[in-house]
Amino acid sequence: MEPEEKMSSDATRWWTEGVLYQIYPRSYVDSNGDGIGDLRGIISKLDYLAWLGVTGVWLNPTMESPNTDWGYDVSDYTSVHPELGTMEDLEELIDRAGERGIHILLDFVPNHTSDQHEWFMDSRSAKDSAHRDWYVWADPKPDGSPPNNWRSVFGGSAWEYDDPTNQYYLHNFLDTQADLNWWNEDVRNAMEDVLRFWFDRGVAGFRIDVAHAVVKDRELRDNLPATPEDDPRIQRLGQQHTFNMDQPEVHDIIRKWRKLADSYDQPRILLGETFLLDLARVAAYYGTGDELNMAFNFPFVFSSFEAKQLKEVVELTESLLPPLAWPVWTGSNHDVLRFPTRWCDGESDKTRLALVVLMTLRGTPVLYYGDEIGMTDTKIPREELRDPVGQRFWPEDRGRDSCRTPMHWSAEDGAGFSPPGVEPWLRYGDYGACNVEDQKDKSSSMLSLCRELIALRLESDDLRRAGYESVESPENTWVFRRGSTTVALNFSDEAARADESGTVLLSTDPARSRGSVGELSLAPWEGVILAQG
């Protein structure tokens, strides 16, 4: 089979040509009234997701966890967190979603386990324990200080001294998240067994947590200091990830995961959280079509919401990705906050424009639950913070809770998330102002626009498959073509002229009539999709 054919065969269409949707399970729907979203809640919304048109759902961690980092501290990789439901619930979710053409992706956290995982409990028990070498242990320096200068992404040294055996263990995140030693073959095999376990249960793929970081420098050399040219995030950390992330050997591991995924009849996809700020480094994770199926694009996420910068990031992505590599576009997630706030200051015309961008570029859009209704971040008072990042860095960094609040289903007490009167695990946002029920049958709503965009994408060969091509356009506008479909976007408060003609297929402006235009004039913050000719 030619590679092009492979790319657009039925089996791959759901992830290359469809739309993915990220659900934070604790915050989607609470089916049993304990204030925590759960799997049965998600099952109850599958018809909604099918109605919206999504073809794949990525669930944030669903496995057992002490929740010091809300599921990213896994204590059993082949289990379901009791707060979210049972293995049967998850199997039912996979089946029922499948009946609706929706594929389920789980979150795979291979870099670290919970300190409560039995592997780590054994590892720390003695220097000669069976799992000692499964984690990264090192002796103190002669003065007792940590083995090297590595800093945790969540603050402080990345090393924690462990009394019983007089060594330090590595944790790139919290000290309750011990980094696994990926130089150890048994670790590699055990984690492949985890992938197999879930693939055999019909899981369609994984979002892979910090996919680029699992292997560390074997000699544990010091990281280099940050320089003034570095990204602000690196400057805040004070050092580059020279030796603790993005090491050459990680590609061997990803290739093995890919081989395993590809060994199944139905393709299983690997969507990596390649949290890298250099696009060339991101592109490397596609390998030669033998590594990640998709690598998240954080330079796009962190772009300002301006025509010039977004266009630059997209052009650079298109030029750096290897042939046949499939881009992925996202604006919000459970870490970076919601784009309707971050990019759009809560303004609906900007949010509508952003949805057009996400849905019309070449590649797969990943919506975060609530993006479709333009849900914004919710301020969380300090005493209600749940995220360890906010708890630690308040007020400089208020953490990530504000984008993890319960989904707004309706205006009634409890937002349609929990029964009325139940206190949710994280406070509600303003669900009276923005919710699914109010938007569902309103043709001018964000939800209707989002659904229309998804439908248009699914119908249009151009939007699903054609290449991306920038077109010259006035300042603060961004015009590009996908085959014979044109997308014209105005990123300003002024009307703008785009030298384009054709038939209007969609506009963010509910007032614009469909039909042909001779010379397109864009309203402030308007986005228009045109069929040429």
- The catalytic site residues sit at 209, 273
Span 438-477, contacts to ligand TEU by CB under 6 A: none
CB of 151 to ligand TEU, least distance (A): 12
CA pair distance 249, 215, nearest whole angstrom: 7
360-369: b or e for each residue (b if 16 or more CB lie within 10 Å)? bbbbbbbbbb
CA pair distance 411, 109, nearest whole angstrom: 36
CB of 27 to Ca ion, least distance (A): 11
- Our finding on whether 72 is near ligand TEU (CB under 6 A) is yes
SS (H, E, C) 95-163: HHHHHCCCEEEEEECCCEEECCCHHHHHHHHCCCCCCHHHECEECCCCCCCCCCCCECCCCCECEEEEH
DSSP, collapsed to helix, strand or coil, labels residue 64 as strand
335 binds, among ligand TEU, Ca ion, none (CB under 5 to 8 A by kind): ligand TEU
Nearest CB to ligand TEU, comparing residues 210 and 488: 210
Q: Strands of 477-482's sheet, edge to edge?
A: 469-471, 477-482, 485-490, 527-531, 502-507, 515-517
Nearest CB to ligand TEU, comparing residues 297 and 460: 297
Residues 329, 298: contact at Cβ < 8 Å?
no
Nearest CB to Ca ion, comparing residues 24 and 150: 24
Given candidates 76, 92, 335, 349, which one binds ligand TEU under the rule CB under 6 A? 335
Task: Measure Cα distances from 527 to 233, 346, 440, 524 in Å.
Answer: 32, 17, 21, 9
Given candidates 34, 217, 306, 312, which one binds Ca ion under the rule CB under 5 A? 34
Nearest CB to ligand TEU, comparing residues 132 and 398: 398
How many residues are listed for the chain in this entry? 533
Residues 461, 483: contact at Cβ < 8 Å?
yes
Give residue 462's identity as a one-letter amino acid code.
Answer: D
Given candidates 19, 28, 30, 479, which one binds Ca ion under the rule CB under 5 A? 30
CA pair distance 524, 416, nearest whole angstrom: 34
Given candidates 19, 36, 282, 454, which one binds Ca ion under the rule CB under 5 A? 36
Pairing of strands 112-114, 137-138: unpaired
Given candidates 80, 84, 210, 456, which one binds ligand TEU under the rule CB under 6 A? 210
Nearest CB to ligand TEU, comparing residues 337 and 487: 337
Residues whose CB falls within 8 Å of the CB of residue 134, separated by 6 or more in sequence, listed in order: 119, 120, 123, 180, 181, 184, 186, 187
34 binds, among ligand TEU, Ca ion, none (CB under 5 to 8 A by kind): Ca ion
Given candidates 32, 125, 129, 470, which one binds Ca ion under the rule CB under 5 A? 32
Given candidates 39, 80, 106, 153, which one binds ligand TEU under the rule CB under 6 A? 153
- Our finding on whether 57 is near ligand TEU (CB under 6 A) is no
Nearest CB to Ca ion, comparing residues 46 and 316: 46
- Our finding on whether 43 is near Ca ion (CB under 5 A) is no
Count of residues of this chain found to bind ligand TEU when the rule CB under 6 A is applied: 12
Given candidates 38, 160, 179, 209, which one binds ligand TEU under the rule CB under 6 A? 209
Site residues (vs Ca ion, CB under 5 A): 30, 32, 34, 36, 38
Site residues (vs ligand TEU, CB under 6 A): 69, 72, 109, 153, 173, 209-210, 273, 275, 334-335, 389
